[in-house]
Amino acid sequence: MTLFKKESSLLQSLTLPCGTVLKNRIAKAAMTERLAGKNHYANAKLSHLYGKWSDTGAGLLITGNVMVDKRFKEASGNIVVEDESGLKAMQEMTKEGTRNGNHLWAQISHAGRQSTIFSTFKPIAPSAVQLKKMMLFAKPKAMTEAQIEDVIKRFVTTASICKKGGFTGVQIHGAHGYLISQFLSPKTNLRTDQYGGSIENRSRVLFEIIKKTRQAVGADFPIAVKLNSADFQRGGFNEEDALYVIEKLHELKIDLLEISGGTYENIVFLTKRSERESTRKREAYFMDFAEKIRRVTKIPLMVTGGFRTIDFCEQVLDNNELEMIGFARPFLADQSFPSSFVNRDSERISDAKFNFKIKQMADFAEAGFYDYQIHQLAKNKPLKPNYSPTIGILRFLKNELVKGWF
């Protein structure tokens, strides 16, 4: 059965620098699934979920955070890959998740100071700078050089096992305030050794991971990076820093750069709008920054955040502003996305609205709401757009608590 019935620039294939071909320009961006059990392996629910997402026709699926160390997770239900013990379950998941000739990449990550108290009371980070949000994060310990070397090795090990487990590429998570992003930001990285200070030093961990991962997975295996355009924090990682990192990533021949922005302190990756008057009417986030990247490098580029109309998506591809478009929440707003979108049955995707007075509660309401939708899909149940965000908060906290502590 043909899913896509109209011609669209979203349906053109893309050849990456490593030679891999993506069948179209539609990417399902990372969304943490929180579906793994106590062993943190892939499982039947994850296999089912990724099988369903493969059936949508998207050319690229990127998993949610896959952690390199079970002590420092983003959420209690994350997949963790430290060794090959979960390989069989992973192979099952990747078989389902690639059943339509699409790619399935693992997003490899370490939460650092953004590891909640449900995972650890002793997080590690570049420096002992605590994340103060709803008392959910303990004060981290500054990492020793040996711990930094261990983390670099873990990223490489996880990437190699993911390749063996059938993932067709990896994405290194360098955005949203997780460990690599903590190294990149002068606000969270106060080190005075070779990993702190200048942007050259702050980006050392990321570059070491890329170089060593490339050696381990070979020249023809896609390696992508998700990077913030900026943290949107005073004294944090800024666009000038990001442009330096991007030029180097181009030299290191990564295959795809995904641009996002923000951290848990300012979740602009879910809310950002363009700041320039001339471009504010452009719906997607970070497009102003994509323009700046284009001026300095030709790195294959994907932006995620806020793409909601088919006309706008086609326009940015036709203008060669981007090579790929990342969508996250649209995959949870309409089960027939992206075919209904490309076929112009629904030319605009609408987001759920969360009107919580306390901003931080709104973050949790949103997390709880979307978490529930993902779990519905994984259980082969329909999406529920009228699900109560208040119940979402309670459900989310209960799940983290039960999976994390009991």
Residues lying near ligand FMN in the complex (CB under 6 A): 29-32, 64-65, 107, 173, 175-176, 226, 260, 269-270, 304-306, 327-330, 370
In whole angstroms, how close is the CB of 192 to ligand FMN at the nearest point? 30
Q: How many residues does the chain have?
A: 406
Provide the phi-psi class of 270: left if phi over 0, else alpha when psi is between -120 and 50, else beta: alpha
In whole angstroms, how close is the CB of 86 to ligand FMN at the nearest point? 18
> Would strands 21-22 and 14-15 be described as parallel, antiparallel, or unpaired?
antiparallel
In whole angstroms, how close is the CB of 109 to ligand FMN at the nearest point? 7
In whole angstroms, how close is the CB of 311 to ligand FMN at the nearest point? 16
What does 238-270 look like in DSSP terms, one character per residue? -HHHHHHHHHHHHHTT-SEEEEE--BTTB-HHH
In whole angstroms, how close is the CB of 173 to ligand FMN at the nearest point? 6
- Which H helix or E strand runs over 69? none
Residue with tokens 């181009």: 250
In whole angstroms, how close is the CB of 219 to ligand FMN at the nearest point? 25
Nearer to ligand FMN, 76 or 107 (CB): 107
Nearer to ligand FMN, 176 or 191 (CB): 176
**Amino acid code (one letter) for 352:** A
Nearer to ligand FMN, 217 or 267 (CB): 267
Report helix, strand or coil for 291.
helix
Cα–Cα dist 255/15, whole Å: 9
Nearer to ligand FMN, 33 or 191 (CB): 33
DSSP character for 348? B
**Amino acid code (one letter) for 33:** E
Cα–Cα dist 97/92, whole Å: 9
> Would strands 301-304 and 79-80 be described as parallel, antiparallel, or unpaired?
unpaired
In whole angstroms, how close is the CB of 318 to ligand FMN at the nearest point? 20
How many helices (H) and strands (E) the chain has is answered by: 15, 13
Nearer to ligand FMN, 162 or 191 (CB): 162
Nearer to ligand FMN, 30 or 191 (CB): 30
Nearer to ligand FMN, 154 or 329 (CB): 329
In whole angstroms, how close is the CB of 33 to ligand FMN at the nearest point? 8
Nearer to ligand FMN, 183 or 327 (CB): 327
In whole angstroms, how close is the CB of 244 to ligand FMN at the nearest point? 21
Nearer to ligand FMN, 237 or 370 (CB): 370
Strands, E, within 182-241: which ranges? 223-228
* Secondary-structure percent of the chain, ordered helix, strand, coil, rounded to 5: 40, 15, 45
**Which residues lie closer than 8 Å to 186 by C-beta, 6 or more apart?**
202, 235, 236, 237
For residues 138 and 123, the answer to whether their CB atoms sit within 8 Å is yes
Residue with tokens 């953004």: 114
Nearer to ligand FMN, 236 or 306 (CB): 306
Cis peptide before 338 (omega within 30 of 0): yes
**Which residues lie closer than 8 Å to 271 by C-beta, 6 or more apart?**
none
In whole angstroms, how close is the CB of 1 to ligand FMN at the nearest point? 26
Nearer to ligand FMN, 191 or 237 (CB): 237
In whole angstroms, how close is the CB of 145 to ligand FMN at the nearest point? 27
Buried b (16+ CB within 10 A) or exposed e, 179-212: bbbbbbbbbbbebeeebbeebebbbbbbbbbbeb
Give the N- to C-terminal CA distance of the chain in Å, as an integer: 46
